[in-house]
Structures are given as C-alpha cells and as structure tokens.
Structure 1
Amino acid sequence: MKSNEPAPVAPRNKVTIHDIAEKLNITASTVSRALNDNPRISDVTKKAVLKAAKQLNYQPNNIAAALRNGKSYIIGIIIPTADRSFFASVVRGIEEIANKLNYKVIISQSYDNYDKEVQTVDALLSARVDGIIASIGKNTENFDHFKRPQEKGIPLVLFDRTTDDLEVSQVMIDDYLGAYKVVEHLIQQGCRRIAHFTSPKKVSIFKERLRGYLDALRDHEIPFDESLVIKSNLQLEDGRESMKQLLKLEQRPDAVFSASDYGAMGAMQVAKEQGLKVPQDIALAGFGNEPFTSFSDPALTTVDQFSLTMGRITAELFFENFKQSGDNKLVPQKTVLKPELIIRGSSLKGTGPKK
C-alpha cells in the first residue's frame, strides 16, 4: 500500500442489546424487556436503556423480532408507480389506518415491470412483513408470485388493478359504470362517433372500461366502429400518437374517451395543434381525476375514483383478513366503490343535458 493512501476502515459492527446491557451492567433480557415497554421493568431502568440505545445508535432488528414474536408490524405495499396522484393518495389512505394500529409500511414500485414485481414480492416476504397490499402491474399476466404469500399464510389484498385468477380480497372502483357514464354523457351531448383509448394488457380495469364503452354505444343504438378503438400504454405521448391516428381517418370522431387522463391530455394537445376546438369540434373525456385535469384549458371531464377512500377501505379489509388469517375458512371479499362522473368544459357541447 502506498504511504499516502489511507488505511482501510474496518466495518463497524451493528450495536445489539448485548452492547446496551454491557454499558449499563444489566442483562440482555432486561434490555429487551425495557425496549418493549414490559411492565415488569421499572421506569428508571427503561429511561436508562432508551438513553443508552440512543447514545449507541441502536437499531432494532425487525426480522429477528418478527421471528421471536410472529409479527413485524410492517405491511408491504406494491404500486406500479408513486408519481401518480391516484396511487399516492391510496397509499396515504392505507397509512392512515395502519399507523393508528401501530403498523408501518414499506412502499415499493414495480414500474409495471413483471420481473421487478416478482422480485419485490420475494423481498417483502424475506423481510418478514405481516402482509402485502398490491396493485398489479400492466404487464403482469402470470400471478404465481402472488400465490406465495398465501402459501405462507400471509394476507394479500389487491386494490384497483386486480385479477379474478387469485382468490384474495379486492378493492376496486366500478370501472364499467364509470366508463358507461362517460360515454352516455358524450352521447347526450350529441356525439355519435366516439373513439376510445384503451390498453392491450390484460389488466381488469381497462377491460371493464372497454366493456362500459361498448355497452353504452349498444344501449343507445350507436354502431361500433373498430377503427375508433386504439390500444396503447395510455401515457401522454400515447394519447398524442393515438389522436394523430384518429385525425387521419376519412371520417373523424366527434369525441374521444380515454381510459386514462394522461391519454386524454395528449389528445387535447394534438387537437389544439391541428386547429380543432375542444369541445366544439371534438369532445374529450378521461378517467382518474388526476389533479391536472381541473387546470387544463378547457378543464377535462373525467371520473373520480375516490382514491383516499379506496386506500382506507383496503387497509381495513387487510386488517380484517389479518385477524382471520389463521382460519382456513377465510372467504375473500370484493369491495366495489361507485365512481363519480365529473363533467367539465372539455365535453360540454351544449346540445344535451349537462348531467
């Protein structure tokens, strides 16, 4: 080693309850009981242990505690992405309930990547979480990894993006009803060539929104035109490309219903760039009630999914399942929330009722 190079620093060992016990000249079991607020330990000893733990920067070993007690008081949450208002709000609702019961959460993002989702489930199980709450990624078609928590007797609850391939409790919005309401509203505004942006993936929410679109057309005796349904990942750029494709048709649509607000906003950008007036030339509607929808010009008609409420109900259902997890007769529950159509300027052609 060169003389001017610093000597390697030996890794510092993690502080344990034995270090605290040695510092205070008491037993490790007394330290453990004090840290767990055992009533058999005096307040003087508890204060001394907590003070020493802080001085030594003691960090409890949650995995070891989970092995001893059978509980880690940690819930794993898997969401596709944290940068969407919807998922952030759901997580907030879950945390509100969990924190009241002295539970903490670990939040992981799958980024709609199947392999990452599988790895996350395994990582959470290795961390000895008491249960998992998840929203399935768009690209997930094999659900075997979600069967592993069940096999270990660990509760699993799905929200929003769910599947009937798993016998687990689920919380979702009535995507079918929300889509039906949007299309019916557009029809009431005089629209007859209504396009739909959907996803090619097998995620239940998009299937249900497509079904609501189709049934609304059928019930109002409007012929279905396959060229008006465009599949994509429903991001902003996808909405732009889908709108460009629609505007090349010989007979353009007079309305677009996107299964996501992002797709609808992309469509609005292109419509304006092409000199079209919204909603006079083309009405637009999305789904999700993302915050930006109320600030666009015109503001975007959309569907509110009551994300905060969904989070709270999901957590309540999880803890109900957790209490019953030792019972082999546990019956999965499905909670379906009723959506609200929020009508704004992007769809109001003024030729029909507003609601």
Structure 2
Amino acid sequence: MSSNKKKKPTILDIAEKLKITPSTVSRALNNHPRISEETRRQVIRVANELNYQPNNIASALRSGKSKLIGIVVPTVNRNFFSSVVRGIEEYAEALNYNVIISQSHEDHKKEVQTIKALISARVDGIIASLGKNTTDFSHFQMVIDKGIPLVLFDRVTDKLNVSKVVIDDHQGAFEAVSHLIDQGCTRIVHLTNPRKINIYSERLRGYTDALRANGLPVLPELIVESNMQLEDGRDSVKQLLEKGIAFDAIFSASDYAIMGAMQILDEKGLKVPNDIKLVGFGNEPFTSFTQPPITTVDQKSIPMGQVTAETFFDLLNKDAKQRYLKTTVLKPELVIRGSSISKAEVPLKPM
C-alpha cells in the first residue's frame, strides 16, 4: 500500500483538483463573502469526495478561530445540566460550532485541569457552571486575562467580572415557602448546602424572607446543611426525627434531597402531604412520578441554555474592546403537585 493512500487530504489537494489557489479553497470553506456560491459548492463537493477533515488547531493558529466551545458542568447526569447543555449545543450547531463538554464532578482540581486543557485546545470561548467546592476562581480569571469569552450560568460568583445567566433563586424559594405557609405550615425545615455558592445562599435567603414576611420566626434548628444528595436528604430528616424536632413541612434546595426525605418519612409511617408537606427545587423528571408527585421549582433549563448561548455568541462576535458584560435573570416557576396540597384531589382512573 502506498504512503499516499494513508496521507490525509489537505486544502492543497482540493486546490490542485479544482485548479484554484489554496487561499480560495480556505475562504470557500469558511464562507467568505467574496467567494461565489458556485465556487463554494465545487469546493465542498471535492472536500467531501476526498473526505477532507479540517485541522481545527491548525485553523485556529491561522485564523484565531477554532469553531470550538468548551462547556464545563459539575455533572451531565442531572436533567437540569443536560438540558442546559442541549440548549447551548443546538444553538452552537446552528452556527457551525462544535462543543467540548467536560464534567468537574464537583472537584476543584479537576475543574482547574479542565479549564487549562480547554485553553490549550484553543477553544473560542468557555461556558461554565461552578462546582460546589470552588472557592478559588483564579483559573477562570486566567481565561478572562487571556481575552477568551467566558459566560457562567446557574452556579456563578460575584468575584469574577463576567456575563452570567441565572434564575431568580430567591424568588423561587420565596414562592415555595409562601405556598407551604398558605397550606397552613408553620414549622418548615430547609435543607441547604453549607458551601455558600450563589444558588444555595439565594434559596436560603428566599426561605428566611418568606418566613419573616408571614410573621414566622427563623429557627436555626430547622435549617439543615448537607451535600444535598438523596442519602443526605434521608440522613437529615432521620436526624430531625431522632432529635424529636417538630416540623410540618420541608423545603429542600434540591429535588434529590427531598426525594430522600420522602423515603424516610414513608419508612417512619409519616404520610405526605397529610403529616408533612414537601417542596423541592429543580423539577427533575422523577418528581412527577413519585406518589404523591413532588411540588418543585422549575429552573427553566432549556431557556437557560438558549439565553446562555445567545449571551456567549454576542460576546464572541465582538472584539474585546466592544464587549460588554451583563447578567440575565430568568423567572422560575413553582410547579404545584400533590406533595404540598392539603386536600389533593386525585381523579380516579377509569377501570
């Protein structure tokens, strides 16, 4: 087998076959306005025939554009993050951009390594949601200092001067707790996270503001901190019950923790919603399949992905001196289901 067959086709091969210059081929592949539609079609046809694959890194070195976007999320196995990523990806693909999706797994060291790897890969920009354990933001500041567009979504920080897309976590929590109070609850447990990243601090603030607005005291014994996973919800409620702390409702800053809480209540013979009413946060798919279905706050993940992508490309399409930073706050929606309603009327299914 000759070595020529193993050689990857290049722009030079396309140019030679069409008897045009390599620069014309390059412009045609990048949709340059001075290239005619007929030339562009011919170049694309030959590129497909030769199975030409552009070298993104080489292209980035020449043009400064890699057509790659780095997306960093804590995890992709949560409906919220996967939906946001899908919204970003669809928007990017429509503009002929590819995305590199990385998970930090809530590990600060891995988050730092990922950001450095994306910079080395010459991505055109980075979209990220912070890990729970991130308190040092110097790796993101490095992105900013290099002039690489950076947009944060959902989990953000005020310590970085960047564009952000968030939901109104305070309002979502305020409405959730106000709903429980309207249902007659007066001792409402709040499951939260000890690390004061924006989403948990804002949800805690919404919780306390709703209590005060309704003339109820904020009781430290009813505010329980954990990592907000399913097991944490189980452990938190189990400890409350073992300590004999009275409560008639739980508002959790995470659907996973509220699911764990529901399991323990059921094991202890406490009925939801008759004995204890529950509200979560996130509108994960499983919340509509529990018995009873769980009331929760919808974070508007698909719109968040679209707005995040719009914000990013708005930055990308301007040179550094023209870029302006903005924070977009989306409105959450309280999805009321059977776990929080005093007299839930469930229609009988036909036999």
Pairwise same-fold verdict (TM > 0.5): yes
1:50 matched to 2:47? The reply is: yes
2:238 corresponding residue in structure 1: 244
1:196 corresponding residue in structure 2: 190
2:177 corresponding residue in structure 1: 183
1:100-138 deviation line (CA, Å, top 9, x unaligned): 222221111111110111111111111111111110010
What's the offset of the Cα at 1:317?
Answer: 0.9
- Structure 1 runs not aligned, ≥5 long: 1-9
1:326–1:340 Cα change, 3 Å:
same
1:167-213 deviation line (CA, Å, top 9, x unaligned): 10100000001001111111111111110110011210000001111
Match of 1:87 among 81, 91, 108: 81
1:325-350 deviation line (CA, Å, top 9, x unaligned): 4216x332011111111111101124
1:3 corresponding residue in structure 2: none
1:62 matched to 2:56? The reply is: yes
Whole-angstrom distance in 2 between the partners of 1:314 and 1:258: 26
1:6 corresponding residue in structure 2: none
Q: Check whether the contact 1:17–1:32 (CA below 8 A) recurs between aligned residues.
A: no
What's the offset of the Cα at 1:28?
Answer: 5.8
What's the offset of the Cα at 1:95?
Answer: 1.9
2:160 corresponding residue in structure 1: 166
Whole-angstrom distance in 1 between the partners of 2:204 and 2:79: 23
2:347 corresponding residue in structure 1: none
What's the offset of the Cα at 1:21?
Answer: 6.3
Whole-angstrom distance in 1 between the partners of 2:309 and 2:15: 41
Whole-angstrom distance in 2 between the partners of 1:44 and 1:114: 47
1:235 matched to 2:232? The reply is: no
1:343 corresponding residue in structure 2: 336
1:153–1:346 Cα change, 3 Å:
same
Match of 2:147 among 135, 153, 174: 153
Whole-angstrom distance in 2 between the partners of 1:311 and 1:22: 40
Match of 1:297 among 291, 294, 298: 291
What's the offset of the Cα at 1:241?
Answer: 0.6
1:340–1:33 Cα change, 3 Å:
closer
2:10 corresponding residue in structure 1: 17
Give the alignment's TM-score, normalised by structure 2: 0.89
1:13-69 deviation line (CA, Å, top 9, x unaligned): 762527846995977667656655673785796367325532xxx432101101111
1:124 matched to 2:118? The reply is: yes
Which SS does the other structure have where 1:271 is aligned? helix
RMSD over aligned Cα, in angstroms? 2.5
Whole-angstrom distance in 2 between the partners of 1:197 and 1:127: 40
1:77 corresponding residue in structure 2: 71
Which SS does the other structure have where 1:257 is aligned? strand
Tell me the matched-pair count: 337
What's the offset of the Cα at 1:249?
Answer: 2.6
More off after superposition, 319-328 vs 273-282: 319-328
Whole-angstrom distance in 2 between the partners of 1:80 and 1:258: 19
Which SS does the other structure have where 1:335 is aligned? strand
One-letter code of the match for 1:340?
E
The ranges of structure 1 where at least 4 consecutive aligned residues each deviate by more than 6 angstroms after the TM superposition are: none
- Structure 2 runs not aligned, ≥5 long: 345-351
1:213–1:153 Cα change, 3 Å:
same
Q: Check whether the contact 2:31–2:40 (CA below 8 A) recurs between aligned residues.
A: no
Q: Check whether the contact 1:20–1:49 (CA below 8 A) recurs between aligned residues.
A: no
Q: Check whether the contact 1:280–1:349 (CA below 8 A) recurs between aligned residues.
A: yes
1:102–1:235 Cα change, 3 Å:
same
2:348 corresponding residue in structure 1: none
Q: Percent identity?
A: 57
1:347–1:14 Cα change, 3 Å:
farther
Whole-angstrom distance in 2 between the partners of 1:45 and 1:97: 28
Whole-angstrom distance in 2 between the partners of 1:280 and 1:207: 30
Whole-angstrom distance in 1 between the partners of 2:47 and 2:90: 27
Match of 1:334 among 327, 337, 341: 327
Q: Check whether the contact 1:113–1:137 (CA below 8 A) recurs between aligned residues.
A: yes
Q: Check whether the contact 1:189–1:350 (CA below 8 A) recurs between aligned residues.
A: no
1:102 corresponding residue in structure 2: 96
Whole-angstrom distance in 2 between the partners of 1:43 and 1:94: 28
Give the alignment's TM-score, normalised by structure 1: 0.88
Whole-angstrom distance in 2 between the partners of 1:48 and 1:348: 62
One-letter code of the match for 2:275?
D
More off after superposition, 45-54 vs 165-174: 45-54
Match of 1:226 among 185, 210, 220: 220
